[in-house]
Amino acid sequence: MIEGLQLRHYNADEANGILDQLVELYLEVYAGGGEFYSEDRYRRQLDLHMQRAGWEMVTATVNGASVGYIYGFPLPPETRWWEGIHEPAPPGFTEEDGKRTFALSELLVHPNWRRQGVARALHDDLVGRRAEPRTTLLAHPDNVTAQTAYRSWGWVKITKLRPNWENAPIFDVLVLDAGSHTYSNG
């Protein structure tokens, strides 16, 4: 563990007080990523996500400096999360009841703090406390570092998905099951 690393939980109301700090770190992490990673688009995404029931975030700081964060929310019964999913997906995979799936929306670490255990600490702290039987996330297929980390943490690729957002890329759909049920690789 990194000396001085501190993790802190936030709900949406609490996170509003550090919104600019969150956006600033996001822009540093995704610098040069193109229009999809613009400040305006991310602020809109963050605003929409923070309105979700059960939204939760964990931040990582070292000696008071923000070095990363992770956030997500439970998928409601009428979620749009699965729109754009590629077939085949396991039967019933996209059915939600508000308690089945926690959607991990962002996990980011400042480039100067990568490969030091920050992402794993954030991941384990947030995901390990969730009551939902599974967690899902969307990962860039060509992000070998992230894909390798997720696989080593027990995540399984199910299929692909292109979100219904302007200029959205195609992502791999990954799932981490808390229970014994596992899905076959897609």
What CATH number corresponds to the domain at position 37?
Answer: 3.40.630.30
pLDDT(167) > 90: no
Q: Is 155 a member of any domain? A: yes
Mean of all residue pLDDT scores within the chain: 90
pLDDT confidence band for 69 (50 / 70 / 90): very high
Q: Does some domain include residue 128? A: yes
CA dihedral over 15, 21, 23, 27, signed as positive or negative:
negative
8 A C-beta contact, residue 141 and residue 147: yes
Residue 183 lies in a domain: no
* Residue 36 maps to a domain: yes
In a domain, 88, yes or no: yes
The predicted structure's pLDDT at residue 182: 41
Task: Report pLDDT for 74.
Answer: 97
Taking 3-state DSSP, the helix, strand and coil percentages for the chain, each rounded to the nearest 5, stand at: 30, 30, 40
Q: Is the model's pTM score more than 0.85?
A: yes
Determine, yes or no, domain membership for 182: no
Distance CA 72, CA 55 (A): 6
- Mean pLDDT along residues 154-174: 90
- Flag whether 185 is in a domain: no
Q: Confidence class of residue 185 from pLDDT cuts 50, 70 and 90?
A: very low
Distances (CA, A) of 113 to 25, 83, 88, 180: 12, 34, 37, 34
Residue 184 domain flag: no
Number of domains the chain is built from: 1
Residue 81's domain comprises 5-177
Res 120 pLDDT > 70: yes
pLDDT at 24 (0 to 100): 94
